[in-house]
Structure 1
Amino acid sequence: MLPSVSIIIPAHNEEAVLHAKLENALSIDYPTDRLDIVVASDGSRDDTVRIAHMFEDRGVRVLDFAKRRGKASVLNDAVAATESELLCLCDANVMFAPDALRQLVACLADDRVGAATGDVRLSSEDSDFGRGEGLYYRIERAMQVGESLLATTVCVDGGMYLMRRELYRPLKPDTILDDFVTSMNVIRHGRRIIYVPEAIATENATPCWKQEFRRRIRVTCGAMQVLVRGDWPRPWLQPVACFEFVSHKLLRWFGPLLLLIMLVTNAMLASTAPLYGYLLAGQVLFYAAATLGWWSAAARELTPIGVPFYFTMSHCAIAVGLLKGLFVKQQGMWERTPRHPHVASSQHPSTSSQQPASSG
């Protein structure tokens, strides 16, 4: 018999996508008597709760929390309100392929696996920086495949992941990166996280680079929170997972500092040998292309412009996030990117013209 699964959908003002999301959840290829679909509203002020109540006669449960407290608190209460063996945590704008849940569940047949995460793909037509983002996430997914083969991938995609109920630990109310902290809890309890490329879902891309810039600042603030609290694999017990954490996440978070050091030292050495001069010229051209991308959305459609733009924009956001995370007290609540209902309107995702997505 298949294990019971609770699909938990935290929602704050998700009226634009929630109807499509619940239709999608109810059409998943999984026995209905083994499936518990829960909408947990975090102080929504639009029609989110009304839409959710429309599906109660089809088995959807609604948790209407009147006061907005943030995603971490809502997840804690929603998990406490369920009894299923497995928890599927997902976003309201993420649409599952029919077999996505079964693909994730199959991985947890192995007792060594504590969680499984799927291939959540961005709708590329929504974004004005899709060229660079697409390349970035293709590299990200390749890394997750390799990490899964080596030991464990270090982070689930918060848009869609499955975990064992007993491994969920209540999150602190001000937690920013709930998916990352949950991932670390799974790993620190000696279980693996597996990336499952066959488990496909789609979500809205961030439409504007300015919104993506703000999102990445927020993610980096969460990264600083993780570092301060010590929520990472223990090197004396999990050396491979710790190596993956450092190489995949920690070095990325400190990328802006490393890039600045590289540029300054290259400039200092440029006159000492032709090679250093060529390398400096390459850096200058790279950042010049990125600057052109800041000015022109049309230019960002070209790969030689779009890739440097996305790379530079991301690292600028990380730099700001590092400073905010270190010196400004953060809260667990933030204004999410506006949803676009036309993207979420189809019941099942296709596999074409979409880019992989990740939590960063």
Structure 2
Amino acid sequence: MKIGFYICAFLVFYTMIGYPLLLKILHKLLSHKKIKIDHSYQPMVSIIVPAHNEENVIEKKIVNLLNISYPKDKYEIIISSDNSTDKTNNIVKSYQVQHKDIIKLYNVESRKGKTNAQDEAVDIAQGEILVFTDANSIFDKQALTELIKTFSDKSIGYVAGKLSYLNSTENKTSESEASYWNIDLSLRLMESDLSSITAGNGSIYAIRKGDYIKIDPIFSHDSIFPPKFVNLGKRAVFNKDAIAFEKAGETDRDEFIRKVRMARKNIAINFIDIQKYNMKRNKLFSLFYISHRTFRNNLYLFHILLLLFNALIVLQGSPLIYLIFLIMQILFFALAAIGKNSSNKYIKLIFYYTMTLVAQAVAAFKEITGKSKAFWEKAGSTR
């Protein structure tokens, strides 16, 4: 019982505090991998935008992509409409009139989700490099140039850009998400400098068309591609200068739904491409993946077991220190329970952290019961 308690306590502490500290130490002590950049490298690029009923944002997205800093004859924009039933397709068609050589509309006949929409768009893409982005993400003017130049280094297989939240200070929900995200970005930067990142983000990332792999549509590229490319002997890197902007969810409900969706296949991901755990082969990357993904994706389980082991130890009449620790756990989750409407930043962060744990647990239950889906309804407050 006590062994289980100490293991779970260690896993929670290491995942949230120990690993970031370890990574900072490694980042200072170890040499950083260089990326050989050829600034003249400007291949043909296909920008793929999966969209389902995005009439509120698709025009802004198209205008944004038409005005990025990259030669107009060197990129195409493919809007892969996942059986949209609103005005999305009509808006795209209206821009095709003046930009028929750049803008393509691909209509997926039956809705099968984001990953399938990306797969079908890749089949018609003409670019050497595939850039993927969401309909509600806005590129910085230099974002595409920054993404693409990284591929002049042949050792690079996957490049993720930097997602920046536009509304990070507008309310406590978006502020909490931005705080978490900024910490995660700092970890990704250090992982990228030393080896490879362990996950991407759907707002802005790219791969070579020749390296594209079709995966089960229930999964997302964000979580599958980085370890897959590492297993193939290539690097997955983070380019902090390739920036995309989005709105974070402004309601707790929207953020909770988004987190459940993101964690929808966390259990299965543990067992996909198991070579990612091979430290003899992948060295630092395997350490990063286990610490940043495997442990973090299972935090809800560590917390449940920690609370259970702690309660059972106390019931057996163990030393006072175990009772104190149990009371601390109960107080922590009690603060989370009242933190939803709190104006205190730190209590709100406790609520946000606990909400993430609950979202992981809900996603795990849905996965076990076969209720995970390849498609979902977008969060309204992010548009």
| TM-score (norm: length of structure 1) | 0.86
Partner AA of 2:374 in structure 1: G
Q: CA deviation at 1:240?
A: 2.7
Deviation string 1:68-125 (CA, Å, 9 cap, x unpaired) is 2222221111111012111110000000111111122222222111111111122225
Tell me which moved more, 207-216 or 89-98: 207-216
Give distance in 1, aligned partners of 2:288 and 2:222. 17
Which residue in 1 is equivalent to 2:123? 80
Partner of 1:335: 377
The alignment partner of 2:281 has SS state of coil
Q: Unaligned regions of 5+ residues in structure 1, if any?
A: 342-360
Does residue 8 (structure 1) correspond to residue 54 (structure 2)? The answer is: no
Deviation (angstroms), 1:229? 4.3
Residue 251, structure 1, aligned to residue 295, structure 2:
yes
Distance (whole Å) between structure 2 residues aligned to residue 242 and residue 8 of structure 1:
30
Matched, 1:206 2:249: yes
Question: Which of these residues, 24, 27, 37, is aligned with residue 67 of structure 2?
Answer: 27
Amino acid at match of 1:169: I
Which whole-Å CA distance do the structure 1 matches of 2:262 and 2:218 have between them? 11
In structure 2, runs of 5+ residues without a counterpart are 1-39
Partner residue of 1:358? Answer: none
Task: Provide the C-alpha distance between the structure 2 equivalents of 1:104 and 1:218, rounded to a whole number of angstroms.
Answer: 27
One-letter identity of the residue aligned with 2:276:
P
How many equivalent residue pairs? 336
2:43–2:128 contact (8 Å) kept in structure 1: yes
Of 84, 90, 108 in structure 2, the residue corresponding to residue 44 of structure 1 is 84
Which of 142, 153, 161 is equivalent to 2:205? 161
Relative to structure 1, is the Cα distance of residues 63 and 192 closer, same or farther in structure 2, using a 3 angstrom cutoff?
Answer: same
**What residue is the counterpart of 1:305 in the other structure?**
347
Superposed CA offset, 1:48-85 (max 9, x none): 00011111122211112232222222111111101211
One-letter amino acid of the counterpart of residue 301, structure 2? L
When residues 232 and 257 of structure 1 are mapped into structure 2, their CA distance, relative to the original with a 3 A threshold, is: same
Of 157, 162, 168, the match for 1:119: 162
Point out the more displaced range, 243-252 or 64-73: 64-73
User: Structure 1 stretch 273-282 or stretch 203-212: which is displaced more?
Assistant: 273-282
Q: Judging changes above 3 Å, is the alpha-carbon distance between structure 1 residues 163 and 216 closer, same or farther for their aligned structure 2 residues?
A: same
Question: For residue 164 of structure 2, what is the amino acid of its counterpart?
Answer: R
Q: Is the 8 A contact 1:148 1:194 kept in 2?
A: yes
What TM-score do you get using the length of structure 2 for normalisation?
0.81
The amino acid that maps onto 2:226 is S
Q: Identity rate of aligned residues, in percent?
A: 28
For the aligned residue pairs, the C-alpha RMSD in angstroms reads 2.2
SS, match of residue 84 in structure 2:
coil
1:7 Cα offset (Å) = 0.6
Q: 1:100 aligns with which of 143, 147, 165?
A: 143
1:326 to 1:68, Cα distance in 2 relative to 1, 3 A: same
Moved beyond 6 Å, runs of 4+:
none
| 2:236 aligned residue | 193
CA distance in 2 between counterparts of 1:332 and 1:262 reads: 32
- Matched-pair contact (CA < 8 Å) for 1:132–1:309: no
Partner SS state of residue 221, structure 1: coil
Q: Is 1:284 matched up with 2:330?
A: yes
1:299-350 deviation digits (Å, cap 9, x = unpaired): 1x42121110000000011011112212225331222222665xxxxxxxxx
| CA distances 1:179-198 after superposition (whole Å, capped 9, x unpaired) | 22233332221111111122
Distance 1:339 1:260 in 2: 31
- The 8 Å contact of residues 17 and 340 in structure 1, kept in 2 or not, is answered as no
Distance 2:113 2:68 in 1: 28
Mark the structure with the bigger radius of gyration. Answer: 2
1:228 is displaced (CA, Å) by 4.7
What CA distance in whole angstroms lies between the structure 2 residues aligned with 1:281 and 1:134?
30
- Structure 1 partner of 2:261: 218
Q: Do 1:43 and 1:64's aligned partners in 2 also have CA atoms closer than 8 Å?
A: yes
| Distance in 2 separating the partners of 1:134 and 1:272 | 41
Secondary structure class of the residue paired with 1:162: strand
